[in-house]
Each structure stands twice: as structure tokens, then as C-alpha cells.
Amino acid sequence: MIDGKKTMLSGMQSTGMITLGNYLGALKNWVNLADEEDIKCFYGIMDLHSITVRQDPTELKKNARRLMLLYIAAGLDPEKNCLFFQSHVPAHPQLAWILNCFTYMGEMNRMTQFKDKSAKHADNINTGLFTYPVLMAADILLYQADLVPVGKDQMQHLEITRDIATRFNGIYGDVFTIPDAYIGKSGARVMSLQDPEKKMSKSDENPNASIFLLDDKDTIMRKFKRAVTDSEGMIAYRDEQPGVRNLIDIYNAVTGHTVEETLKEFEGQGYGTLKEAVGEAVATELAPLQARYAELEKDKEFVNRVMKENAEQASYYANKTLRKVMKKVGFIEMPR
């Protein structure tokens, strides 16, 4: 809670180009939730998290700025929502350090994202990658977030955040709000178009596996056309047909249809028809976002102003929590 209002915080790493998975699992829900008057929303561009994997400095800058534009282009109004860069608010790594001292090695060892990423980047298993979830806990707890809208893959990080906050509150009293995850009804786990047993990811080496938010219509249609399905030849929603199920999930997340409605719509049709319909629906959904993005790209001043004002706002709230934490732990306050 902040100023008597329910508070929401979420964010994305600023690496590469975000995918349809990021959009349907997170960004689209943020936009829907942001329309609710009584919620104070914070959305971070989590650039500090990005460097747990080696980044090219020029690319990192480009990706972070582009992500800010995509947040706005998707419909997050920066006058109503606080959109900020994590690296502009030093309270994040400051609180993360303190929380590190309240987190156990065994807890971090269990994190599946750490296991996956260290397998993928075996030559760079750094301690930042290991303590990544603690920085994420700091992101959330600094804003006293009640709700954290994320895709299913972030659930484990949310649970550890709750554990750390509960532990800290148990020692020092009610310092942190214990956050709940908000997972959308559909789109919570969008799968790769080339391997539907794997989640769609921006770092997938096969470019046909993911739809990127700025892909043009032809590319979107082509990728869906090539999507891996099966040889059953029947449109059904079941575990044995993960490729088809993923297409139905994507279609429903975009159109708002239910599984029953979609199965009825495509009854007796072939996979080609379904793929084309999903491609059309996705391209139609992304077209206004892409047009707005192109406009924003030209307006450097507006984006710079948003960055500055929102970083100040985020810092104000984050520092308030950090001061409270530091006092509780027993650090001497700097004389004013």
C-alpha cells in the first residue's frame, strides 16, 4: 500500500527484443490493470538484472530505451503509471544488499532460473546470477507492492520474495507488504513456436521460435505458418498436442475467446486455417502498438522527460521504504 492505495509493481529485463510471451504474459495484463483507478502502478525496466548475462554496452542502452517506448506504446500512460529504469533508483541495489543478508544459499540454489541460466552460460556463472532473485525481491518490496503481475515462470521468484519479506517482518515488525502474484487467465505461459514444450523466450537461438513485438505482419504470418504442430490432423486442446494447444492459447489471449468458443470456430478445419487466423489476430493486436512506437521514436524530448520525472517519483517511494529498513536494522542516520 502507498498513500492508502493498492500498489502494483512489475518489470522486464532490458535484453534483446521482447516477445509475444512477454506481452501476453505480462505487458497486456499491466495495461488492463492500469485502467483501474485505485491502483498505484510501478513498472521497471530492469536493466540491473540484465547484466547477469554479459551485455554489449551500446546494445544494452538501445534495448533499455526501446523497452521504455514499448511500455508506453502498449498503452501504459506515463502520467498515470510510474515507468522507470531500475539503474536510476540506487535504492534497489542498496536494499538488495541488505536482503542478501536475510536470504540463504540453499534458497537460491533451488531457483530453476539460476539452474537454467547457468547451464546456458556455463562460462559466466557469476554471483549476480545467483542472487538475482534477491534484487527482484528488493524491486517489489521497496514499493510495498500488493500485486505483482507476471507470467508463470516468475512464480518461484515471487514465492522467495514472500519468504524473505516474512522473515524480515518476523524480526523487525511490519516493514514490508507481503505481495501476491497476479497471473492472467490466458497467456501466462506462451510456448515456443518451434518447440512447444519450451517457453517462448527472447534469447532463443531460432528466430522462428518467437514472435517479437516489432515483427511486421509478413514475418508474423510466416512464423505462425511454420509453427510446429503434430500429425494428429485434428484441432483439439489437450496435452498430447502441445503445439496446437499453444496456438489456441495465443488466439484466446488475444481475442478473449474461451477454449470452447475457439474449438467450435475451427471445428473440422485444418491446422493451416488455425495458423492463419492466429497470425491475423496477433498482427491486428500488435499493429496499433507498432504505429505508436514509430511515433514515440521521433519524440526524444517527451521520452527524456518521462524518464526523469518517473525516476524521481520512483526514488521518492523507494527511499521511504529504504530509510525505514535501515533504521530498523540499526544503521546510524546521516545527520541532516
> Considering the complex, what minimum distance in angstroms separates the CB of residue 19 from ligand TYM?
7
Task: For the CB of residue 84, give the shortest distance to ligand TYM in the complex, in Å.
Answer: 12
| Residue 40 engages ligand TYM in binding (rule: CB under 6 A) | no
61: annotated active-site residue: no
Active site residue 117: yes
Q: Give the residue, chosen from 7, 8, 11, 213, that forms a contact with ligand TYM under the rule CB under 6 A.
A: 11
Whole-number Å distance between alpha carbons of 256 and 233: 25
Q: How many residues bind ligand TYM (CB under 6 A)?
A: 25
Whether residue 117 contacts residue 53, with contact meaning beta carbons closer than 8 Å, is answered with yes
Determine whether 264 is an active site residue: no
User: Which sign does the torsion angle of CA 286, 290, 293, 295 carry?
Assistant: negative
Q: Does 154 bind ligand TYM (CB under 6 A)?
A: yes
Q: What is the C-alpha separation between 325 and 321, in angstroms, rounded?
A: 6
**Using the 8-state DSSP alphabet, how is residue 268 labeled?**
T
Window 172-231: residues binding ligand TYM (CB under 6 A): 188-190, 199-200
Contact region with ligand TYM (CB under 6 A), list: 8-16, 104-112, 253-261, 269-277: 8-16
Sheet holding 180-182, edge to edge: 82-85, 39-46, 6-13, 147-149, 180-182
* Crossing angle for the helix pair 271-298 and 217-225, to the nearest 10 degrees: 150
Residue 131 binds ligand TYM, judged by CB under 6 A: no
What is d(CA 71, CA 167) in angstroms, rounded to the nearest whole number?
Answer: 33
Count how many Cα atoms sit within 13 Å of the Cα of residue 309 in the half-sphere of its side chain. Answer: 11
- CB 192 within 8 Å of CB 199: yes
Q: Which residue out of 6, 152, 202, 324 is catalytically annotated?
A: 202
49 touches ligand TYM by CB under 6 A: yes
Looking from the CA of 311 toward its CB, the CA atoms found within 13 Å total: 15
| CB 270, min distance to ligand TYM, A | 26
The answer to whether 150 contacts ligand TYM (rule: CB under 6 A) is: yes
CB of 139 to ligand TYM, least distance (A): 4
Q: Is 45 in the site for ligand TYM (CB under 6 A)?
A: no
Catalytic residues: 117, 199, 202
Question: Which residues are near ligand TYM by CB under 6 A?
Answer: 9-13, 21-22, 25-26, 46, 49, 136, 139-140, 148, 150-151, 153-154, 157, 188-190, 199-200
